[in-house]
């Protein structure tokens, strides 16, 4: 049952579970759910982009993950959401009641496998994040994010950045000023171009991969 997990019997960018559920639109910066809410649903991004984050009492914020079309989020081990989910752009999400997903997973082994696989992949992404935050420099982190975004949104070297500089900083464990300075420096070095704030071009992929570590 685990071995089949290794085969991609579904395309993660399309509905992976073959279920239907109500779709909800969220405006930019609107909350999908908050830390502490009852976790009755699992969500899938249909279009747009979502950030999941946690905030310490004194306001320090850490973004766990960015979610794009096809990604799912909101699955918890306990009864409550441990993170807050917010739309970064105008976004449509599909809501799947936990009970419905459970039934489906129970009836259809390939759904259970897909769900499990997605969770393990999420764990591995989180471990990459840990390595980055624990041991990489500001420059390595910023480059790493750019490469990750390019790989996931699949526009080649052309990046439409859906998040603010503050979001980038809170994902990378840096300040907004450091992110901005680092991007400026990368542009000066000729490895990226920043035609507009929300549009970044990766000029030299090879050099970037080297910088990312």
Q: What angle do CA 171, 173, 174 make, to 5 degrees?
A: 110
181 binds, among DNA, a copy of itself, none (CB under 5 to 8 A by kind): DNA
Cα 34 from chain centroid (whole Å): 17
Please, which of residues 5-44 interact with DNA by CB under 7 A?
Answer: none
Q: Tokens 């799947």 map to which residue?
A: 96
Residue 201 interacting with DNA (CB under 7 A): no
Torsion of CA 98, 102, 21, 115, to 10 degrees: 100
Binding map of a copy of itself across residues 37-76, x = CB under 8 A, - = no contact: -----------------x-xxx-xxx-x----------xx
Among 62, 153, 175, 213, binds DNA (CB under 7 A): 175
Binding map of a copy of itself across residues 120-159, x = CB under 8 A, - = no contact: xxxxx-xx-xxx-xxxx-----------------------
Shorter beta-carbon distance to a copy of itself: residue 110 or 181: 110
A 10 A CB-CB count for 68 gives 18
The 3-state DSSP class for residue 170 equals helix
């Amino acid at each position: 049952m685990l071995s089949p997990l290794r085969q991609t019997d579904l395309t993660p960018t399309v509905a992976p579970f073959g279920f239907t559920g109500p779709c909800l639109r969220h405006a930019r910066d609107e909350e999908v759910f908050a830390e502490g809410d009852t976790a009755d649903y699992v969500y899938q991004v249909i279009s747009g982009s979502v950030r999941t984050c946690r905030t310490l009492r004194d306001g320090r914020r850490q973004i766990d993950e960015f979610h794009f079309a096809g990604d799912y989020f909101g699955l918890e081990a306990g009864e409550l959401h441990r993170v807050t989910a917010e739309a970064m752009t105008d976004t449509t999400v599909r809501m799947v009641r936990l009970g419905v997903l459970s039934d489906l997973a129970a009836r259809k082994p390939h759904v259970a496998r897909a769900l499990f696989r997605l969770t393990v992949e999420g764990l591995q992404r989180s471990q990459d994040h840990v390595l980055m935050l624990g041991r990489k420099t500001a420059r390595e982190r910023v480059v790493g994010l750019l490469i990750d975004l390019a790989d996931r949104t699949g526009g080649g070297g052309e990046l439409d950045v859906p998040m603010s500089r503050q979001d980038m900083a809170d994902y990378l464990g840096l300040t907004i000023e450091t992110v901005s300075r680092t991007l400026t420096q990368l542009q000066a070095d000729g490895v990226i171009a920043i035609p507009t704030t929300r549009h970044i071009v990766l000029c030299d992929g090879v050099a970037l991969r080297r910088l990312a570590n």
